[in-house]
Structure 1
Amino acid sequence: MNKLRTVILVIIDIFMVNMAYLLSINITFYERFTEIATIYQNDVLAVTIIYLICFISFKMYSSLWHLTGTDEFLLGAGGGILAGALVILYTRNIGATIPLNVCVIGTMLTCILVLGYRVLYRVYRRTLLYVPYKYSNDQQRVMIIGAGSAGTMIINEMLSRRNLKLNPILLIDDADFKQGKRISGVKVEGKREDIIRLAEEQEIDTIIIAIPSIDNENKRKILEICKKANCKIKIIPGIYEIISGEATVSKIKDVELEDLLGREQVVLDNKGISEYLNNKIVLVTGAGGSIGSELCRQIVQFGPKLLILLDIYENTVYDIQNELRYDYPNLNIKVLIGSVRDKDRLKEIFNRYNINVVFHAAAHKHVPLMEDSPKEAIKNNVFGTLNLVNISHIKCVEKFVLISTDKAVNPTNIMGATKRLCEMIIQSYNTISETEFVAVRFGNVLGSNGSVIPLFKKQIKNGGPVTVTHKNITRYFMLIPEAAQLVLQAGGFAKGGEIFVLDMGKPVKIYDLAMDLIKLSGLEPHRDIKIKITGLRPGEKLYEELLMSEEGLLNTNHKKIYIGRPTFDSIENLSKKLSDLKDILEENDEEKVKEKLKQIVPTYKEPSEVNEVAITNNEIVD
């Protein structure tokens, strides 16, 4: 189809070039037309070839002329003028002497005819498509925020591709000088404060935010306004789409909750991170998980000598292996299958590889599941960590970074209590080891495996209801790449024994997240999608904390990373308690296991105790 279109354009251009020169002869030498036309006939082939070569050189056959703009027009004019100049040189030195005024006027007429029919073609297409399309009832009515380059590209594509069923109705832009102006027939009708009113007046179905360079704070503010318009909201991902010329409808994505969070981009001390990762052998446990896999993506950018991916589940670690090998063909990577619960497997790995840095992300993390299987949580999280810490200590690993959680602070569930015990293990070992043992504590990450966001999306897709355990339940959230980057940065700050606490921003109501996701889908909560309160799950508390009262906070050189003061048992005392816990695991009495865990982790309480206090003290975020 493209080749046929090019052939047709070439044939039309040949006709237009020669028609232009014949018209020029008729205008300047009307009475001698036959004589001058005979002279021109001798060089008609050379003139035609010169013009075609110039047109090809100026890419006139590779442009989408139904989307033609200033660039295409200037290229066409440049090609025509250059060809006309070459024709004059040719006729003066090699060919027959065609009168100069014929060549000059012929050049001008060629540009007018060759560019003219192309522009008329665009006018024809726009008239044919735009008028019935503009008033069609089967199109989504679209408001575009941003009357810049991205907005222009999006409008042009919508108007030229009817199958998209997207009808650009109006533009929104905060610039005063753009108000009332039109882009491809679409008018700029207001600023951000007019979004809700115009969306209602114009019966808008979809809002597209087409400002790739927008900062996170302004994006969040605009999204907060758009949420109230009861429209489906979409967004162009980033500035690179404009730079690469790819700001097309296919690149537009649904607005995600991370866009609403408006979190600043993390700025890293790359030199500090590189010093402990570059040319080092790095082990990541749980490498197939959400955090583990993102850690791997971030670590490879600092040039490790060897990156070892350890996981018990082969499918996910296989996926991240393929991704890394595709993106980094020269990367030295080793994927190992094994469990941190297996001492012999860990000894085998550490004996084979002289590991310098360990990132320990492997853990059972689902709160309700671990309430039903407490022994498995303890075996994997506590004794798996103990195995890994012990072998790292014996082999004198340089740094050991434990991925912890806000659920370890004043835990109300088995999972949180086991992670708090893991923190105690690494702090205790740090007092006797050459290895720098540290933990990094943060809350929920958006989009991680098993998190609430994918569940909500699936429920909305299925027509609801969206299930929330409690209307007042709150959680801290951050992005997966942000969490991984800050973990690497904390590792660079580590001196040993610290629990690094990441700045999670303000806690967010899960109920509000459900409301936002429904609105972002262009639906109305409680009318289109119901929200059902199901009650707190086993071990679940209404709010999470990032710091225990006795820990306090110390600043680091990074504004998003803090240090909690060490609170731990001596290694001898803790080892005795862990030995007792291990013996109790053999007794097959889950209640006894929980009681022992509460003795070791004195801040471990029943959810009812903490939740009742929270409600009484009004500690729930409104």
Structure 2
Amino acid sequence: MNPRSLTASLHDLCAAAIAWMAGYALRFNFDIPPSFVEAMWNNLLWAIPLQAVIFHGFGLYRGIWRFASIPDLRRIALAAGTAGLAIPAVLLMFQRLNDVPRSVLVLHPLLLVLIMGGSRFLYRAWRDGQLVSPRRFNAEPVIVMGAGGAGAALLRDLAGSQRWRAVGLLDDDPAKLRLQLQGVSVLGQLDSVARVAAAHQVATVIVAMPSASPSARRHAVELVVGAGLKALTVPALADVLSGRVTAAEVRQVELEDLLGREQVLLDNEGLKEQLTGKSILVTGAGGSIGSELCRQIIRFAPAKLVFLEQSEFALYSIEQEFAGQPVCCVVGDVKDSSRLEAVFAEHKPDVVFHAAAYKHVPLMESANAWEAVRNNVRGTLNVARAALASGTSEFVLISTDKAVNPTNVMGASKRLAEVVCRAVQTQASATRFVMVRFGNVLGSSGSVIPRFRQQIAAGGPVTVTHPDIIRYFMLIPEAAQLVLQAGLIASRQQEGGQIFVLDMGEPVKIVDLARDLIRLSGFTEDEIKIEFTGLRPGEKLYEELLADGESTLPTPHPKLRIAKPSATPDAQWLADLEQWLAVPSRTEADVKQGLKARVPEYQPSVH
């Protein structure tokens, strides 16, 4: 027996002795006759060892007092009840039952439960900081929004915190008004946050509503920020309940929390069938989308996950993240067809996710235009042909909404990559080519959000190109999950050359994102100014998910639709394109003229 269990055992034996003597004292109104005093001590000498055996038999020392709970109290009650039956039985056996008043036999187990259970819960309350502690009065007062499961878990964790002290709850359920949760009262509805905060001198509000809809969470955060208070939020309820994190691990509200994206429902069984035990290759594996695809794929236990990446540092970073997993790191450029042929011949991937691309619109617009075309178009053709040669069953191209009615070189090159995949599909019998279009991914490398954060940290101003510019946004994990789901749907339909369009929700004004980020950073627009700099080369006010003449068809997944593209080009078109791509260098004007000839909807912007 370890020292902790030995201490607990000695405590319980002392509790048993005290309960036995207290039973006599209560029976005789604290004036025990001398004859009964002698009988009390004589019977105690064998009653204590008997109870020690019973306590160990019921496993009272397998629990940890720090986390004493209802199951522990149940075991104590059962052990005390058993002792309450065993003691009279032994007394009867030795014909000494007349030495013990009947009321003592009833009082003893009741007092035993009270002493043993009470001491455990008192110890837990002390360790949790729920007893009076001078340090608790120095903790910062906070209001908790949400009187549900997450709120209860948060209050339990905050009870032992020396940093925060919950002074009230807010919840829109009128039935909860003035009720208490973990000893903290529900003081009003969410829209009363300013009044309640002023009354209790609170500067911080924790939004504990992880199971609420994104719009409800956004509304709650807007109420907090609008009242000039600091907004924090809790982890996902599933993570709290699983024990991966505690509810007290609160964090600042991020822009992602306000985007209003619903959780993606995946066909996990179907994805297991598609990915488990297979060889999977991801190009651009070190990028924002590529690395998240790898994180999602590894959950389905592929036999091998091949990272193909041009950047040595990006490849090193993702290799460190996936240490110990069945991965293979390959340095390679998608423009190098010989390297691709060797990699595909060695690893023979069953499924390929092609995420490698140049995607920064202004950088790819002028001096780097031909490099964008070579990487995004020539690279896609090289990967597609390597997949065909190695017997890959499925090829998924990551495309973009900028490929729709493009006004810039990057968008036109991605549109051309889509057409290339459809053209190659006509030459393939065993390989399905699938294209997935979606909009901006919040927080990806090169996106607007990291730049906004840097500008706010520097004291401003935050620069936005145009007050009316809007974009579709989604989260990186959401985009990666829907890419996997699109590939699964295509494999089940046994049809290649399809373009999947993701449900991007409602477009968001970039200036509204900037305002949200300024407020979440604890500033006002008077402190951090917003400046409009004008549209950049190749940039347009809004993006589209369907080109002129395209329509969509539904799929089994509510967030995915299939675009019905225009006619597929023939083999001669593909041969002409290869001849055009074979030239090592072209001028910007030549590039845009060639793109216009091959992507009729491309209309270069003029600024």
Could you say which TM-score interval applies, normalised by the shorter chain?
Answer: 0.7 to 0.9
Distance 1:278 1:461, change over 3 A: same
Where in structure 1 are there 5+ consecutive unaligned residues? 610-622
Partner of 1:109: 111
* TM-superposition CA deviations, 1:41-100 (whole Å, max 9, x none): 53265156347536x8235861327xx665655554444334444444455558976626
Q: Do the aligned residues in 2 keep the contact of 1:129 with 1:160 (CA within 8 Å)?
A: no
SS of match in other structure, 1:421: helix
Partner of 2:448: 452
- Following superposition, the deviation at residue 6 of structure 1 comes to 6.6
* Structure 1 residue 349 corresponds to structure 2 residue 343: yes
* Structure 1 residue 402 corresponds to structure 2 residue 397: yes
* TM-superposition CA deviations, 1:447-496 (whole Å, max 9, x none): 22232223334444555443333332211111222222222222234322
Distance 1:524 1:203, change over 3 A: farther
CA distance in 2, matches of 1:511, 1:303: 42
Q: Do the aligned residues in 1 keep the contact of 2:147 with 2:171 (CA within 8 Å)?
A: yes
CA distance in 1, matches of 2:539, 2:433: 29
Distance 1:484 1:122, change over 3 A: closer
Q: Do the aligned residues in 2 keep the contact of 1:286 with 1:310 (CA within 8 Å)?
A: yes
- Following superposition, the deviation at residue 12 of structure 1 comes to 4.6
Q: Do the aligned residues in 2 keep the contact of 1:18 with 1:48 (CA within 8 Å)?
A: no
Partner of 2:229: 231
CA distance in 2, matches of 1:5, 1:472: 67
CA distance in 2, matches of 1:537, 1:94: 99
Distance 1:82 1:471, change over 3 A: farther
- Following superposition, the deviation at residue 543 of structure 1 comes to 1.8
Distance 1:443 1:81, change over 3 A: same
Partner of 2:548: 549
Distance 1:334 1:184, change over 3 A: closer
RMSD: 3.4
Mapping 1:388-467, distance limit 5 Å: 388-434=383-429, 435-461=431-457, 463-467=459-463
Mapping 1:500-519, distance limit 5 Å: 500-519=500-519
Distance 1:123 1:256, change over 3 A: closer
* Structure 1 residue 129 corresponds to structure 2 residue 127: no
Partner of 2:193: 195
Where in structure 2 are there 5+ consecutive unaligned residues? none
- Following superposition, the deviation at residue 120 of structure 1 comes to 5.7
Which of 377, 382, 396 pairs up with 1:382? 377
* TM-superposition CA deviations, 1:558-585 (whole Å, max 9, x none): 33222223335433234324423542x4
Q: Which moved more, 1:369-378 or 1:314-323?
A: 314-323
Distance 1:87 1:314, change over 3 A: farther
CA distance in 1, matches of 2:150, 2:314: 36
Amino acid at match of 2:39: I
CA distance in 1, matches of 2:463, 2:534: 9
SS of match in other structure, 2:551: coil
- Following superposition, the deviation at residue 443 of structure 1 comes to 0.7
- Following superposition, the deviation at residue 415 of structure 1 comes to 1.8
Q: Do the aligned residues in 2 keep the contact of 1:460 with 1:529 (CA within 8 Å)?
A: yes
Partner of 1:539: 538
Distance 1:93 1:302, change over 3 A: same
CA distance in 1, matches of 2:342, 2:465: 44
Amino acid at match of 2:22: L
Q: Do the aligned residues in 2 keep the contact of 1:50 with 1:87 (CA within 8 Å)?
A: no
SS of match in other structure, 1:358: strand
- Following superposition, the deviation at residue 402 of structure 1 comes to 1.1
Amino acid at match of 2:476: I
Q: Which moved more, 1:220-229 or 1:34-43?
A: 220-229
Amino acid at match of 2:59: S
Mapping 1:50-449, distance limit 5 Å: 50=53, 53=56, 57-58=59-60, 62-64=64-66, 73-93=73-93, 99=100, 101=102, 102-117=104-119, 126=130, 128-129=132-133, 133-134=136-137, 136=138, 139-162=139-162, 165-241=163-239, 243-244=241-242, 248-270=246-268, 273=271, 276-277=274-275, 279-302=277-300, 304-321=302-319, 323-324=321-322, 326=324, 332-371=326-365, 372-434=367-429, 435-449=431-445
Distance 1:296 1:160, change over 3 A: closer
CA distance in 1, matches of 2:418, 2:391: 19
Q: Which moved more, 1:227-236 or 1:239-248?
A: 239-248
Amino acid at match of 2:358: H
Distance 1:75 1:517, change over 3 A: farther
* TM-score normalised to structure 2 length: 0.85
Q: Percent of aligned pairs with the same residue?
A: 41
Partner of 1:492: 488
Partner of 1:40: 43
Distance 1:199 1:462, change over 3 A: farther
Q: Do the aligned residues in 2 keep the contact of 1:357 with 1:398 (CA within 8 Å)?
A: yes
CA distance in 2, matches of 1:474, 1:112: 65
- Following superposition, the deviation at residue 115 of structure 1 comes to 3.7
Distance 1:317 1:250, change over 3 A: farther
CA distance in 1, matches of 2:131, 2:390: 75
- Following superposition, the deviation at residue 27 of structure 1 comes to 4.1
Q: Do the aligned residues in 1 keep the contact of 2:551 with 2:565 (CA within 8 Å)?
A: no
Amino acid at match of 1:158: L
Partner of 1:571: 571
SS of match in other structure, 2:435: strand
* TM-score normalised to structure 1 length: 0.84
SS of match in other structure, 1:553: strand
- Following superposition, the deviation at residue 411 of structure 1 comes to 2.3
